[in-house]
Chain A
Amino acid sequence: MNIVVVGLSHKTAPVEVREKVAFAPTHMEEPLNTLVSLEDITEGVIVSTCNRVEIYATTQDIAAGTARIKRFFADYHKVDIEKLDQHFYSYHGEEAIKHVFRVASSLDSMVVGEPQILGQIKTAYGYAAEYKSSGIILNRFLHKAFSVAKRVRTETKIASSAVSVAFAAVELARKIFNDLSDKTVMLIGAGEMCELAAKHFLNNGVRGIFVTNRTFERAESLAEEFDGKAVRFEDLFDQLHKADIVLSSTGAPYTIIGPSDLNEVMKRRKHKPMFFIDIAIPRDIDPAVNGVENVYLYTVDDLNGVVESNIEQRKKEAEKAEEIVNQEIGQFFKWLSSLEVTPTIVALRKKFDEIRKAEIEKTLSGWKDIPPDAGKKLEAATMAMMNKLLHHPISTLKQSGQGGRTALYVDALRGLFELNVDIPDDEEMHELEED
């Protein structure tokens, strides 16, 4: 049995193509059922995120299986297969295992180390398990992928530093305030980046948020969105002392907060530290504010600097992660091979033993004047003969390991001896492994 991966991602396909073949998470039953009902396909999992759509499947015939999945993509979404073909990548064997381990570990993500992908694959697997489109191989495969991802996460610092401006701002705030749960944010003006940062602060548990804007209505509607309090722009300096973190992005052509404005503010808040983040261009906050005691001013450029150096660091950590992935591939591949080997051995032994037993019976039934210990002796002699005959082929098969020969031997044995090999279920597999 072979694992194949077919799909397309942000690396091979533009978003216009990706969205055409995406699967809606609310309607997974039908495509999963269709997928596993295809000829050549036995198990299947569909992973569909905004950056990638890929199918993990098991098949007896790699080439046929891969082609079937490509056609399935096209047929299911009613897209011309020629248009998709150039965007597809497909893997099998060790390459397929490596790909999925890398994807789950967020090594193939647009932002390397981003944490969402693992959750998305878990959800995708959840659907496959629910609709029974995944079986013994993919179950084991994906659980292994999750544990590899976990190992990568705990043993490298791949996800430990902020790689977005908003996250970098939250991290810096923690370095000043430690606990954010009793801190208040003041949002001056509006703007995508500013609102995103405010959202991140809220997600990280700040106590409350003030919103001010030259247009009070705008402030009110934003305040409602963030469950905060709107402040009139004229009252900014009356309220500023209540804020620990200030996010500013107005369109003002001049600075609105200068160091002298802060004298009174700092006095009123008993010189507790303040963290200003100036997102506006041109600047809203006079750079000299950074010189005020217990006040820290960061601009978007400063935060971008943090993000860039973090990305550099992630690249280094990604190398360590690749190593972990490589270690784990071998182990899983060995299991996958043994999946073929062990039942074949069992079937081979069974076949030989059946023939042996039948022949003994035949011999004994037509034998007159049978010596009392003939049965026992025959049994022992044939048993020894069978074991000796089988010893070398079986140990060769077991040791063929990860090399390409395993499949060859298994196929040969099955063909030559007409073996019927079923894939054992989880429980049987467990017993076989323990032997």
Chain B
Amino acid sequence: MNVFLFYVTLAIYFGATAAYLIYLFKPSKNLGKFAHWLIVFGFIVHIIFTFDRFIEAGHTPITNLHESLSFFSLAVVGLFIIFESRFKMQVLGSFVVPVATVLLLVSSLFPTSIGPLNPALKSGWLAVHTIVAFLGYASFAVAFGASIIYLIQERFLKKKVLNGLFQKLPSLNVLDEINYKCLTFGFPLLTVAIISGAIWAESAWGSYWTWDPKETWSLITWLLYAVILHGRLTTGWRGRKAAILSIIGFAVVLFTFLGVNLFMSGLHSYK
């Protein structure tokens, strides 16, 4: 049942990705509505899947790569739905929904079975630490999507290519604002995730900070976003620069999450 729900979600996300990509090149009201309701429907099934897994496993289902990637994807879709209705911007979906779909697709490559819980993870901190961390990652993912569109749109404006896609993409200021909003939302979450992780580490492993690769890279990510936000508020790193930094930031996030788990050994390598 659980695995079935997972694949249903994946299939719906693929459908929504296709709808949003077609929408980008041939926008129509009906297709836009269809894409929106498809992703909302997929999100609901995804939530049911996650909840079902929570009941079956008896703990927060973010304990291995399959579960983490799935939750990451869920958070991205949830945030996207909020931003889509808040900014009335469907084209954002053409760039963010594929990210969520790819995350879920990668998730399907890892074993889906529910194994016994690693004793080190048996704690109330599991839920707080992981959910907060992935919500933070998800807002960086939306910022990434908005930044990609920003760079495309800014290129069109500079090169004076004003037909086709240019007309369909939103204005620079709105994209910049989404990027900024996402960072101001994601950064505190990342901060909370790191602090809660440190407290949990103290109680589980006896030390707040051990320079485990995950901890190091989380700190690098945190510092990077701190610099981006600081630069924006003081010297006006906005527009193109902010977009590029946001894209780099998300690449670092992905490495912190996936690269560290897959290629480096440490306390956080849950596969």
- Name A's B-contacting residues (CB within 8 A): 172, 174-179, 267, 269-273, 290, 293-294, 296, 298, 302, 305-306, 309
Contact = CB atoms under 8 A, between A and B. Distances in A.
Contacts of A175: 153, 157, 166, 171-172
Contact of A293 (B153, B174, B239): B239
A173 to B, nearest CB: 9
Nearest to A306: B162
A178 B238 contact: no
Given A271-B237, A271-B238, A306-B162, A178 B157 contact: no
A275 to B, nearest CB: 9
A271 B157 contact: no
Contacts of A270: 235-236, 238
Given A175-B171, A177-B171, A294 B160 contact: no
Nearest to B162: A306
Contact of B173 (A176, A293, A298, A302): A176
A174 B174 CA distance: 10
Contacts of A305: 160
Interface residues of B, number: 19
B235 A178 contact: no
B239 A178 contact: no
Contacts of B166: 175
A308 to B, nearest CB: 11
Interface string B218-244: 000000000000000001111111000
Contacts of B239: 271, 273, 293-294
A294 B238 contact: yes
Given A270-B235, A293-B240, A179 B158 contact: no
B163 interface: yes
Contacts of A174: 171
Nearest to A268: B236
B236 A177 contact: no
Given A178-B173, A293-B240, 6 more contacts: A174-B171, A176-B172, A178-B170, A269-B236, A272-B236, A296-B158
B193 to A, nearest CB: 30
14 contacts: A172-B157, A175-B153, A175-B166, A175-B171, A176-B157, A176-B173, A177-B172, A178-B171, A178-B174, A270-B235, A271-B239, A272-B236, A302-B160, A306-B162
A293 B157 contact: no
A175 B170 CA distance: 7
Most buried by A among B157, B160, B237, B241: B160
Contacts of A306: 162
A314 B171 CA distance: 23
Contacts of B170: 178
B172 A273 contact: yes
Contacts of B153: 175
B157 to A, nearest CB: 5
A164 to B, nearest CB: 15
